[in-house]
Structure 1
Amino acid sequence: MPSFLRSLALGATLFSSLSLAVRPVEIRGQDFVDTVTGKRLMIIGVDYQPGGQAGYKPQERSDALTDADVCLRDAALLQSLGANTIRVYNVDPTLNHDECASIFNAAGIYMIIDVNSPFGGESINRAEPEGSYHVGYLGRIFGVVENFKNYPNTLAFFAANEVMNDVPSSKDNPPFIRAVQRDLKNYIAKHADRTIPVGYSAADVRPILEDTWAYYQCALDGDQDDKSRSDFFGLNSYSWCGGDATFETAGYDVITEMFKNSSIPVFFSEYGCNEVQPRVFNEVSALYGEEMTALSGGLIYEYSQEESDYGLVTINDNGTVSLMTDFANLQEQYNKVDISLIQSTDPSSTSIKAPKCDSKLISDSGFSKDFDIPEPPEGAEDLINNGVDDGYVRGKLVPVTATKVTQKIYGTNGNEITGVELKKVQNDDSNVPSGQVLNSGEGGSNEDGGQPAEPTKKGAASTLTVSGGALFAVFAMVAMFL
């Protein structure tokens, strides 16, 4: 082959494997909006923490996004499911996440990253917020920003999760969470080449829920660019339980009314009650239907079966995966979603202004009415201006060449599913439900020691099929190889 053709082929292969796959998203009013197409991004997502909290093992140089083989396996399954977003709770910013982030990116799946961890000094302590808000803590969460800021599929960061989980904890903590949001956004503005939203994930504690949202969406002195306010609001809600629940009995009518005039996007950062099993997920049709367009979708809790019993799949000890009935039921519901409806934006919803912060916005529930946000601790200004040290890995996309899943996957009937493969999404789009159904496994057997999911009915279709791969060639850059 002539050198010209070899160079052209090499360039085409490189840019095909390094395709962006997803476009940057920005916030306009209460919507996440694709910056190129102008279409709304509704979160069709799953909370992703294989191994649960115990799966976060910085002492072993391991977290949910460090094993490329595992990420490829799970990204292919989540892509088939129809997900376009994952939430990852615990990451170590000193570890390299390039391969996993690039795999999810190639699958058209965004990531929302929690900056905190369950270890001491790596989150705001609700029992002592002032003592846990220090420069060492900020250095760690800024390290998470450094680690993930360069991945185009980093959709957002959660500054905190359920710090206020009852009325007493809502008295002193709120100003500190706003301070953390301010510091994160100031750091992003200094060190990232794009805006990455920062927000809060709230517990569904009804005495303080509306006050929590009111407190975090308002703007100090009416300044719409106030860095301490949330860019978005996540709600961990488990009120829709079982197939007999309805829009009204689950309180979705109350939630919709509460957030219909929100000035920021609101979505379920966790949902999927497991009081009735298997879960049928008929709340999906409500969440993505016409009555709830004020919300921006949600994340099902959770991908893998853990002690809390919310899994969509069982990860067996040998690395094989067994699909649970919940996976099949959720895929069926996702495939019914009207994509054209959820991608459309309402101009009125993208122009809603944040109210000015005022104690009158807060009821007498006991929630804080203090809008005197703490100043950054000593040393924080230097970190914000000059960046964190070299102990934190600065992530970047890398080529994704392997696409075939090597671990065995078992359907809901216990039989092996063959040919599971990640499909690189075309045209920089995010993933969407494809209408396909992952095969339940027509042949083969579970002979290698993996434990199948509970015996249930077979799935309806035969293969894992989503949109085809993309080929990108940029002639000016290919010329470098000539």
Structure 2
Amino acid sequence: MFVSKAVALLALCATTFAVQSIIIKGSDFVNSVTGNRFQLLGVAYQPGGSSGYDPSSGLDPLSDGNVCLRDAALMERLGVNAIRVYNVDPDLNHDMCASIFNAVGIYMLIDVNSPLPGQSIDRVEPWTTYTSSYLNRTFAVVEAFKSYENTLLFFAGNEVINDVPSGGVVPPYMRAVTRDLKNYIAKHSTRSIPVGYSAADVRDILVDTWNYLQCTETGDTSDPSRVDLFALNSYSWCGDSTFTTSSYNVLVSDFSNTSVPVFFSEYGCNKPAPRVFTEVPVIYGPLMTPVLSGGMVYEYSEEPDDYGLVQINSNGSAQILPDYDTLQKQFDTLNITYLQDLPAQNLSVTPPKCTSSLITTPGFDSNFTIPDVPLGAQALIDDGISPAPVGKMVPVTATKVSQVVQQSNGDVIQNLAITILADDRSNNPGSVTSSGASPSATKKNGGENLKCSLSVLLGIASFAALWTSIL
């Protein structure tokens, strides 16, 4: 018994410290420990694309630790601090992947829907898909990911409203799904996890969608059907564009009085190619950061639509593509202190009251009465789903990538590995050098190892004393 307890305590030293929770205050993401604002520097992560999601395969993007280790190492070098994952199977185990991304300071943005029948809201006849069975599946995703400290948020929908006809019928259902997810999280999660919506950047309906989803009937933020955040998939900046030519200036103007964080859930137009990513210093510069909270580059892996940063081969090997190099160069120009280490400012913004005057597009729904919870779903919210997936952080002991990974010029990257970040730091450009070393990891990890070693010694001493008294 004494030996097993000692071994268990020693194992704790291999467990990585969790990233600090990101919370929402007003229209800012905020580091819950430091109180500083948080900007997303992320990538969309869906190897195989949406058509590659097949639960019968027993795999999803976050189920294979070896794959996640390879990709986390490349993302850490790139400087990203978040991934968006569109399609996950809640019945699979995601512990190792979640823990690996946590170890390198990368948060996860998780979509609760999938392209399979019955697992998303139909944009033509949403009432046919808003069912207890559908909600059971979305709650299962919450259960699977709620215990990972680096789960930053859930998306209740992605481009479900993408034209005026869908804007005429879908908005109440998006608020209903948001309400149900937030109520489920409030009852069954030990911490609050934000829920939001990822919108199509369709000029005719974008502002109406945002207003419909952020407003409140009561004038405060307590309405659970109100989104905690609003994101948009925007591809208006193409090539070597400008703040005005791309209409980014219009977006900043439109969202200047937002009551929730707004960010790009996708960006990175690929015409012309190769991409130059000149939008990056603008997104993370003084013209946009007072209003927007960063964004997610589309996308990590090369798929048929040619947006990839990395080519993943069938044998597990990978090669960096030129877009990766260009994006990294742009990331490396950013002032990370300006982005992440300044006090949050937009901490209290009054949301608009839900009235028909908020909606300006003819045909877009201006009725804010949302559907009741489907028959049988309230019991799921009250009692929890059963069986419920369970996720937990696990020790990350293997750090070296086993697959062959090449630079864009074909050279093999030698000794590619993740660098475990200490002091609960999120990853950012410059956190890890091109050689894979963290500039300050030795001192930080030394401190954490010392604390861990002292804790283990004290724990072992206590168990020894107890064991001696028993004998």
TM-score normalised to the size of structure 2? 0.92
Q: Which residue of 2 aligns with 1:31?
A: 28
Q: Please give the residue correspondences for 1:21-420 in structure 2 after superposition, counting only pairs within 5 Å.
A: 21-243=18-240, 245-293=241-289, 294-344=291-341, 348-390=345-387, 392-420=388-416
Q: Does the residue aligned with 2:423 lie in a helix, a strand or coil? A: helix
Q: Distance in 2 between matches of 1:395 and 1:436?
A: 28
Deviates more, 1:61-70 or 1:215-224: 215-224
Q: Distance in 2 between matches of 1:188 and 1:262?
A: 24
Equivalent AA in structure 2 for residue 366 of structure 1: G
The CA RMSD over aligned residues, in Å, is 1.9
Q: Distance in 2 between matches of 1:58 and 1:8?
A: 40
Contact 2:36 2:343 (C-alpha < 8 Å) held by counterparts = no
Question: How many angstroms does 1:368 deviate by?
Answer: 1.1
Contact 1:89 1:113 (C-alpha < 8 Å) held by counterparts = yes
Equivalent AA in structure 2 for residue 406 of structure 1: S
Question: How many angstroms does 1:464 deviate by?
Answer: 2.7
Contact 1:163 1:169 (C-alpha < 8 Å) held by counterparts = yes
Contact 1:20 1:152 (C-alpha < 8 Å) held by counterparts = no
Q: Distance in 2 between matches of 1:49 and 1:466?
A: 27
Q: Distance in 1 between matches of 2:110 and 2:273?
A: 29
Question: How many angstroms does 1:259 deviate by?
Answer: 1.0
CA deviations over 1:394-452 (Å, ceiling 9, x no partner):
101111110000001100111101011111111011111117664xxxxxxxxxxxxxx
Question: How many angstroms does 1:54 deviate by?
Answer: 2.8
Equivalent AA in structure 2 for residue 76 of structure 1: A
Equivalent AA in structure 2 for residue 130 of structure 1: W
Matched, 1:426 2:398: no
Q: Does the residue aligned with 1:216 lie in a helix, a strand or coil? A: helix
Residues 388 and 283 from structure 1, CA distance in 2 versus in 1: closer, same or farther, beyond 3 angstroms? Answer: same
Q: Does the residue aligned with 1:222 lie in a helix, a strand or coil? A: coil
Contact 1:21 1:425 (C-alpha < 8 Å) held by counterparts = no
Question: How many angstroms does 1:167 deviate by?
Answer: 1.3
Contact 1:80 1:464 (C-alpha < 8 Å) held by counterparts = yes
Question: How many angstroms does 1:20 deviate by?
Answer: 2.7
Q: Does the residue aligned with 1:253 lie in a helix, a strand or coil? A: helix
Equivalent AA in structure 1 for residue 213 of structure 2: Y
Q: Return 5+ residue gaps in structure 2 as ranges.
A: 465-471
Residues 477 and 287 from structure 1, CA distance in 2 versus in 1: closer, same or farther, beyond 3 angstroms? Answer: farther
Equivalent AA in structure 1 for residue 264 of structure 2: F
Q: Which residue of 1 aligns with 2:469?
A: none
Contact 1:207 1:365 (C-alpha < 8 Å) held by counterparts = no
Residues 257 and 418 from structure 1, CA distance in 2 versus in 1: closer, same or farther, beyond 3 angstroms? Answer: same
Deviates more, 1:55-64 or 1:105-114: 55-64
Q: Return 5+ residue gaps in structure 1 as ranges.
A: 439-462
Equivalent AA in structure 1 for residue 15 of structure 2: L
Equivalent AA in structure 2 for residue 216 of structure 1: L
Residues 151 and 275 from structure 1, CA distance in 2 versus in 1: closer, same or farther, beyond 3 angstroms? Answer: same
Q: Distance in 1 between matches of 2:459 and 2:151?
A: 25
Deviates more, 1:330-339 or 1:298-307: 330-339
Contact 1:21 1:107 (C-alpha < 8 Å) held by counterparts = no
Residue of 14, 18, 26 corresponding to 1:17: 14
Question: How many angstroms does 1:55 deviate by?
Answer: 2.8
Residues 26 and 95 from structure 1, CA distance in 2 versus in 1: closer, same or farther, beyond 3 angstroms? Answer: same
- Report % sequence identity: 52
Equivalent AA in structure 2 for residue 96 of structure 1: N
CA deviations over 1:119-141 (Å, ceiling 9, x no partner):
00000011110010000000000
TM-score normalised to the size of structure 1? 0.90
Q: Distance in 2 between matches of 1:175 and 1:479?
A: 59
Question: How many angstroms does 1:348 deviate by?
Answer: 4.7
Equivalent AA in structure 2 for residue 14 of structure 1: A
Contact 2:208 2:361 (C-alpha < 8 Å) held by counterparts = no
CA deviations over 1:62-96 (Å, ceiling 9, x no partner):
11011010000001110110000000000011111
Q: Which residue of 2 aligns with 1:455?
A: none
Equivalent AA in structure 1 for residue 20 of structure 2: R
Q: Does the residue aligned with 2:173 lie in a helix, a strand or coil? A: helix
Equivalent AA in structure 2 for residue 324 of structure 1: L
Q: Distance in 2 between matches of 1:281 and 1:421?
A: 26
The alignment covers a number of residue pairs equal to: 452
Equivalent AA in structure 2 for residue 192 of structure 1: S
Residue of 428, 431, 438 corresponding to 1:466: 438
Contact 1:247 1:253 (C-alpha < 8 Å) held by counterparts = yes
Contact 2:28 2:344 (C-alpha < 8 Å) held by counterparts = no
Q: Distance in 2 between matches of 1:413 and 1:97?
A: 33
Q: Does the residue aligned with 1:17 lie in a helix, a strand or coil? A: coil
